[in-house]
Structure 1
Amino acid sequence: MDNSKIYAILGLGGSFYLWIILFFIGVLAFYGHWIVFAVSLLIYVCLLYYYLKSRKARAREMTKYIENLTFHLDSATKA
C-alpha cells in the first residue's frame, strides 16, 4: 500500500504529529529532565517554523494553481 493511501485512510496531518511531539516534550518537563527538555523544545520550535512556512507556501501554490486553471478555463470557453 502506498504511503499516501495510508495517510488518506488515517487522515493524519502534520499538525497532529506536532501536538504529539509537544505532549512528549511536556512529559520531559514534568519529570524534570531540563536539559533534554530545553534541547527538545528548541528542535520543536524549528520544526514548527518549518511546518508553518511550508504550509503557507503550499497554500500559495494551490491558490496560484487554481487562479491559473480558472484563467485557462475562462479563455477556453470564450474562444
Structure 2
Amino acid sequence: MNDQHLDGNAVAGMLGAVLAAEPTTAHITCESCEQGGPVATLTTYLTPMGATLYCPSCGALLLRVAEVNGRVWLSLSGARSLQVSRP
C-alpha cells in the first residue's frame, strides 16, 4: 500500500458491475462454514420489510435486504465474499 489514496469514486465501475449484475446467479461464500453457491440456493425468509437469507449448509445468516422509505439496505455481514460475472 502507498500513501496516495483516492475517494470511493475510483471504484465506481467495479461497484456498478456488482450492483447491476443478476443477483440470483451471484456466487456467495459463507463466512462460517466456507461453503459457497448461487444466491438462488440460499434459504430465504421474506417479511413485509425485506428478507433474510441463510446458508443452506450451516444455517448462518449471510445476507439481509430491506426496503425502507424508497431506499434499499443490504447487509452481507455473514458472507465471506460475493462474486458476480461481468456481462
TM-score, length-normalised on structure 1?
0.28
- Work out which of the two has the higher radius of gyration on C-alpha atoms and give 1 or 2: 1
